[in-house]
Amino acid sequence: MSKTVICSLCNSKMKEESFAEHAKNHWKENEAIAYFKYAEPQYSPKQLDALEQIGALEEHFGYGRWFTQGELLNMTAHTMNALVEKGDLEEQNYKELSYYRIIKKYGD
């Protein structure tokens, strides 16, 4: 999975694998050394709702519990996949059903 980074010199956003070439261009133009930081993931209202529901599940049943998409109200596979890609959820499949577990706490 490719992460988005932000250039320290021009605040441009790009994929991590593109940064080396971008930094070379800064050096050629200005003899300036560019660094990057990882961009914070952006969440849709649906994703934030899912994270809140997951937080409530964890408060009730305990941290680290595996759950299915069906335990969350009005959640789509697209929303769950987005949270896996952003690093919030871990996914495992068992008998053709996806199970999820939170990796990082909401708000961390």
Cα separation, 5 vs 3, in Å, equals: 6
Q: How confident is the model at residue 51 (pLDDT cuts 50, 70, 90)?
A: very high
Residue 87 pLDDT > 90: no
For residue range 69-79, list pLDDT tens digits in order: 999 999 999 99
In a domain, 54, yes or no: yes
For residue range 17-50, list pLDDT tens digits in order: 888 888 888 888 888 888 877 777 788 999 999 9
Pairing of strands 4-7, 89-94: unpaired
Share of the chain above pLDDT 90, in %: 41
> Into how many domains does the chain fold?
2
Domain of 78: which CATH number?
1.10.10
Sheet hosting strand 67-68, strand order edge to edge: 67-68, 97-102, 89-94
Q: Mean of the per-residue pLDDT values for the chain?
A: 86
29 and 50 belong to one structural domain:
no
Domain that holds residue 13: 4-38
pTM: 0.63
